[in-house]
Amino acid sequence: MKRVALLISGGGSNMLALVRDMAERDHPAKPVLVLSNDPAAAGLQHAADLGVVTAAVDHHPFGRDRAAFEAALLEPLLAADPDIICLAGFMRILTPGFVTRFEGRMLNIHPSLLPKYPGLHTHQRALDAGDAEAGCSVHEVTADLDAGPILGQARVPVLPGDTAETLAARVLTQEHRLYPAVLRRFAIGDRRPVLLP
């Protein structure tokens, strides 16, 4: 049974989709920690309501000292002894030092069809480019932002009249399908990408 730590920054809808899926009888993994960089993240209470251990390390007191923040973050994270780390709406950039420590067992979900649109404002960028489709990607986290091996993708159509908000909502629905499907495979060592129509 693989032990999964989930890192969030806000509502944690992707974390909830993963935690609910891991509650299914046949799942090869279980959640051992939900950790946030924001003590006020709504996802922390939702996780606690589902019986998952939670912790928070506020990044604000560390200012621009990323290494010091990450050293504080490591404490509850290592105490949970995770096999896999899922970044799920985690909005802090992690240093290469932190990432290499978990390389090969840290995943992230990004709201674009990587390698298109790494970084922020992905939906507006897809609209501005006139793309006919958009979507989300789950990838292994490496030192290069949003650039690790792709473990899964889900595609959605861009519809006439779409705004960044309407497109984000359509993609988010697919994120909640894609991430649990990828974690099920990843937890049994199957690296074949999950491609959802």
Active site residues: 110
12 is a contact residue toward ligand GRF (CB under 6 A): yes
88 is a contact residue toward ligand GRF (CB under 6 A): yes
Residue 77 or 107 with smaller CB distance to ligand GRF: 107
In the set 33, 34, 47, 109, which binds ligand GRF (CB under 6 A)?
Answer: 109
Q: Which of residues 122-141 bind ligand GRF (CB under 6 A)?
A: 136
Stretch that binds ligand GRF, among 5-13, 26-34, 138-146, 184-192 (CB under 6 A): 5-13
153 is a contact residue toward ligand GRF (CB under 6 A): no
d(CA 174, CA 135): 8
- φ/ψ of 105, rounded to 5, equals -140, 25
90, 38 Cβ separation under 8 angstroms: no
d(CA 134, CA 123): 8
180 is a contact residue toward ligand GRF (CB under 6 A): no
- CA nearest neighbour of 43 among 87, 109, 83, 105: 87
Query: From edge to edge, which strands make up the β-sheet containing 194-196?
Result: 54-56, 29-36, 2-8, 84-87, 106-110, 133-140, 150-157, 194-196
In the set 55, 164, 172, 181, which binds ligand GRF (CB under 6 A)?
Answer: 172
Contacts with ligand GRF, residue ranges (CB under 6 A): 8, 10-15, 88-89, 109, 111, 136, 172, 175
